[in-house]
Amino acid sequence: MAADEDSQRIGDPAFLAALLDGQRRAIESVSVSLDSIERAAIAISERLEAGGRLVYLGAGSSGLIAIQDGAELPGTFGVDPARIVFLIAGGAERAHRIDGAAEDDRDAARGAIDGLGAMEGDVVVAVSASGSTPYTLSGAEAARAKGASLVALANRAGSPLLALADYPILLDTGREALQGSTRLGAGTAQKCALGLLSTLANARLGHVYRGLMVNVRPDNEKLRRRALDIISSIAGVDESAARRSLASAADDVKCAVLIASGAGPREKAQALLAQSRGDIGAALSRLNESAPCGA
């Protein structure tokens, strides 16, 4: 074994410890930005509730992390996929093959924003570790010029992307153990912050109740099992009743909860939800208030 090879092997535990320490610092960087994340989540929920689109904008590793967050929203929270847009350097469909040159393509970013038409009711979530990636920064500038609200996540204080944003979120992860990499501490902080951001926004939209995913779309066996557990837990019914309610509700979990709780047919459950703006807690309160005394 060569001497330098042996030295590297001996240093592996220390290098791993340094990498892990970077991950810990990444989470700590998110914890000090919770106020900023909350403000941004409120803005996202308001735009979505008003019918706007949620646009994820990024490049490289940051773009991949943005896609991961947004791609899970339809299944987890029932968000209409047509209202989630991914603008990723080199194209979202090829994001798994990171195109370094595309990260510098300002014209492509501006063209992608132009292709979205009017954006006054939309919210853009731009993600860039440096806060100065040309594609991301140019796209953010173009979106703001068209009236979109801008949420920005960056890992460098004083970066132009944060200065541009309506809702800046600084994730100060510091120096990486592997210098120049943005897929380690910076990526962990971005993943964590985006998860908090989108989950809180959807909770404010009524898609979370008592810590449960009440707007989940049960399109596979795992999610169907989860949906039945949610219905049983909230309505206090057994699995058989939960299954019947879910079938009556055409797989709409919120409707199924109301049906299992005594709302009657699907149309009545849908009306209760409409009156409550999709908030299952408020709909259940209305149902209980309308129940005959002693029922």
Contact 133, 140 (CB under 8 A): no
Residue 45's nearest CA partner among 151, 163, 203, 176 is 203
**Catalytic residue (one of 5, 46, 103, 239):** 103
Helix (H) or strand (E) run with residue 151 in it: strand 149-154
C-alpha distances out from residue 173 to 28, 40, 170, Å: 8, 20, 9
User: Using one digit for the tens of pLDDT, what is the confidence trace for 110-133?
Assistant: 999 999 999 999 999 999 999 999
Three-class DSSP labels, 198-215: HHHHHHHCCCEECCEECC
Q: Could you confirm whether 46 is annotated as catalytic?
A: no
User: Using one digit for the tens of pLDDT, what is the confidence trace for 10-52?
Assistant: 478 888 888 888 888 899 999 999 999 999 999 999 999 999 9
**pLDDT at residue 290 greater than cutoff 80:** no
Residues 154, 136: Cα–Cα separation, whole Å: 11
* Four-CA torsion 152, 155, 161, 162, nearest 10 degrees: 70
Which residues make Cβ contacts (< 8 Å) with residue 26, sequence separation at least 6? Answer: 171, 173, 184, 185, 186, 188, 189, 192
For 156, what's the count of Cα atoms within 13 Å in the CB-facing half-sphere? Answer: 15
Mean pLDDT for the stretch of residues 67-84:
95
Contact 132, 161 (CB under 8 A): yes
**Which residue segments constitute the domains of the chain, with CATH numbers given?**
17-204 (3.40.50.10490), 209-290 (1.10.8.1080)
User: Using one digit for the tens of pLDDT, what is the confidence trace for 159-182?
Assistant: 999 999 999 999 988 787 677 666
Residues 167, 160: Cα–Cα separation, whole Å: 13
Helix (H) or strand (E) run with residue 154 in it: strand 149-154
What are the φ/ψ torsions at residue 172 (nearest 5 degrees)?
-80, 85
Which residues make Cβ contacts (< 8 Å) with residue 18, sequence separation at least 6? Answer: 177
Residues 74, 215: Cα–Cα separation, whole Å: 9
Q: Which amino acid is at 21?
A: D
Report which DSSP code applies to 233: H
C-alpha distances out from residue 202 to 48, 107, 187, 279, 294, Å: 9, 33, 22, 11, 35
What band does 237 get if pLDDT is binned at 50, 70 and 90?
Answer: very high
**Catalytic residue (one of 72, 120, 239, 267):** 72
pLDDT of residue 9: 53
User: Using one digit for the tens of pLDDT, what is the confidence trace for 221-235?
Assistant: 999 999 999 999 999
* Four-CA torsion 33, 34, 36, 41, nearest 10 degrees: 140
- Tokens representing 174? 């510091």
| Reported pTM | 0.88
Q: Could you confirm whether 72 is annotated as catalytic?
A: yes
Residue 188's nearest CA partner among 200, 174, 201 is 174
